[in-house]
Chains A and B, each alone.
Chain A
Amino acid sequence: MDLATETQDDLLIVRAMEDRIDAAGAIQFKEQMRSICQNPQSRVMLDLSRVAFLDSSGLGAVVAVMKLLGPGRRLELAALTPTVAKVFRLTRMDTVFTIHDSVPNGFPSAV
């Protein structure tokens, strides 16, 4: 799982560079996020603009990352593609995360 990071003051933006977070990659995604989240920024935003597909294992991994941030930090999500947004909506996990339409200015847009 290839993840790119950028910091903006107290915001850590993590962009998933692969087109899927699925059962074959969920554990690796979670472990890499665990390492990235050692950074001290209080807000972590996961940019999902390149992720066309996320299954229940991927959803579970995103929830696990939210939990490992601890109670004082929140995981925010940005730029969900239609199928990914559908998974969050159907499972009502869209009520748990702050979801942004796009990442804040400064991060180059996805090609």
Chain B
Amino acid sequence: MAFPAPSDTPYATGTGAVFQITSTPLAVRRALREVLDHSIMSGLSKDARGTAELVLAEALNNIVEHAYGTDDGQIELQLHQTGSRLSCDVFDAGMPMPEGELPAGLAQIIGEHDDLPEGGFGWYLIRTLTEDLTYRRIDARNHLSFKLNIEQ
């Protein structure tokens, strides 16, 4: 017998998990370990786990570096699995995205030696590896949402 989901949770079916993360690179590293050790990830293939860790690292580190920068802050990560998809919702109260939109995340132009890009890979990876990627700014909070295909 299934219990009805509490009215304040966005999900009614499947399994979910919520993580609170302090906005520092080391806290993100620790959180990723906690996420990968969580039962919600236990059914994933090695490849799907690697992809999930990469995408979550890029999304979380982007908040640490750009939304909060040198400010203290909290990040909330909500995971919810339904069938072959892992829905990821990331919330923070830092600065909004520039122009209020997701970065284009285009593939980097690969030049010769000195012109090789050292950054700008993050959003390209997120866009390439996710589905249904959206960003919203609501009540001074950023909400990034995407899905991962975990049946790889």
Contact = CB atoms under 8 A, between A and B. Distances in A.
Interface of A: 20, 22-24, 53, 55-57, 59-61, 63-64, 66-67, 71, 82-83, 86-87, 90-93, 95-96
A22 B50 contact: no
B122 A56 contact: yes
Given A55-B54, A83-B54, A87-B125, A23 B61 contact: yes
Contacts of B64: 23
A86 B53 CA distance: 12
Given A22-B61, A55-B122, A56-B125, 15 more contacts: A53-B50, A53-B53, A56-B58, A59-B121, A60-B117, A63-B116, A67-B113, A67-B114, A83-B54, A86-B51, A87-B125, A90-B124, A90-B125, A92-B110, A96-B110
Given A24-B29, A91-B121, A55 B47 contact: no
Contacts of A90: 124-125, 128-129
B50 A56 contact: no
B118 A63 contact: yes
A56 B119 contact: yes
6 contacts: A20-B29, A66-B113, A67-B113, A82-B50, A83-B53, A86-B51
Contact of A22 (B57, B108, B113, B128): B57
Interface in B95-152: 107-108, 110, 113-114, 116-119, 121-122, 124-125, 128-129
A96 to B, nearest CB: 6
Interface residues of B, number: 30
Contacts of A20: 29
Interface of B: 25-26, 28-29, 46-47, 50-51, 53-54, 57-58, 61, 64-65, 107-108, 110, 113-114, 116-119, 121-122, 124-125, 128-129
Contacts of A57: 61
A31 to B, nearest CB: 14
Contacts of B125: 56, 87, 90-91
A96 B116 contact: yes
Contacts of A24: 25-26, 28-29
A55 B61 contact: yes
A86 B119 CA distance: 17
Contact of A92 (B25, B57, B107, B122): B107
A86 B122 CA distance: 13
A67 B112 CA distance: 10
